[in-house]
Amino acid sequence: MAPTRDVVMAELAKIATPSGGNLVRDDLVRALTVESGVVRFVIEAPSADHARALGAAQNAAETALRRLEGVTAVQVVLTAHGPSAKPVAAAPAEPPSLKVGGHPTPHQGGPARVSGVDRIIAIASGKGGVGKSTVASNLAVALARQGRRVGLLDADIYGPSQPRMMGVSKRPASPDGKTIEPLHAHGVTMMSIGLMLKEDEAVIWRGPMLMGALQQLINQVAWGRLDVLVIDLPPGTGDVQLTLAQRTHLTGAIVVSTPQDVALLDARKALDMFEKLKVPVLGLIENMSTYICPNCGHEAHIFGHGGVAAEAIKLNLPFLGELPLNLEVRIAGDAGTPIAATDSALADPYIRLARRLIDGGMG
Cα–Cα distance for residue pair 124/139, rounded to 1 Å: 13
Q: Which residues of the chain have pLDDT under 70?
A: 81-109, 198-201, 203, 205
* CA angle, 289 then 294 then 300, to 5°: 35
Give the pLDDT confidence score for residue 186 in this predicted structure. Answer: 95
Q: How is the chain split into domains, by residue range?
A: 5-80, 117-359
Give the pLDDT confidence score for residue 104 in this predicted structure. Answer: 55
* CA angle, 127 then 333 then 159, to 5°: 40
117-359 has CATH 3.30.450.20 classification: no
- Same CATH topology for 5-80 and 117-359: the answer is no
In terms of Cα–Cα distance, which of 284, 222, 215, 221 is closest to 244?
215
Q: Do residues 251 and 280 lie in contact, with contact meaning Cβ atoms separated by under 8 Å?
A: yes
Decide the pairing of beta strands 299-300 and 291-292. Answer: antiparallel
Q: How many CB atoms lie within 10 A of CB 187?
A: 15
Q: Do residues 145 and 351 lie in contact, with contact meaning Cβ atoms separated by under 8 Å?
A: yes
**Which CATH fold would you assign to the domain 5-80?**
GMP Synthetase; Chain A, domain 3 (3.30.300)
State pLDDT tens for residues 199-224: 666 767 677 777 788 888 898 999 99
Give the pLDDT confidence score for residue 105 in this predicted structure. Answer: 59
Cα–Cα distance for residue pair 262/125, rounded to 1 Å: 12
In angstroms, the Cα distances linking 133 to 217, 243, 246, 254, 289 are 17, 19, 22, 12, 16
State pLDDT tens for residues 40-90: 888 888 777 787 888 888 889 899 988 988 888 888 887 775 544 444 443
